Amino acid sequence: MMAPPSVGAPPQEGIHGGYWLEVQDENNRVLDYRVLQFPLGDSVEVFNDDGTIEREFGPATENTFEVLVPDYDDASNVAMFGESLEPEASRARRAERAANPEQPGEPEPPSRELARFKLSKQP
């Protein structure tokens, strides 16, 4: 099965927000990546009759997701990067900052490594 390519430059820890997975070699060099759009299951879209769209947000839920990545011979790790795993609290802080632009407080940090998984070859 062929995996579609990722498009664009790979996101970088400390610069980008959101969530993504990296396939890395044993020296943690990025071989491939996949952006994860809604990995926490914390939103749904609502489609209005006039063609406009809104997204409803809620708490993170126990969730599974599938990610298709190319099969690299030298792949060694999969690392997951992301923001807070408590998105409701993050959204509340951002909403408060937006309501008080004169006192924005500390900016939120972009995404960081959340988890790392060792890959092994199937026999």
Q: Interface residues with other proteins (CB under 8 A)? A: 1-2, 4-9, 11, 14-20, 34-35, 37-38, 43-47, 49, 51-59, 65-66, 68, 83, 87, 91-92, 94-95, 98, 101, 107-111
Minimum Å gap between C-beta 85 and other proteins is 13
**Shorter beta-carbon distance to other proteins: residue 79 or 83:** 83
Minimum Å gap between C-beta 7 and other proteins is 5
Q: Give the end-to-end CA distance of the chain in Å, rounded to a whole number.
A: 19
CB 108 within 8 A of CB 92: no
> What is the bridge-based pairing of β-strands 112-118 and 30-36?
unpaired
CB 82 within 8 A of CB 18: yes
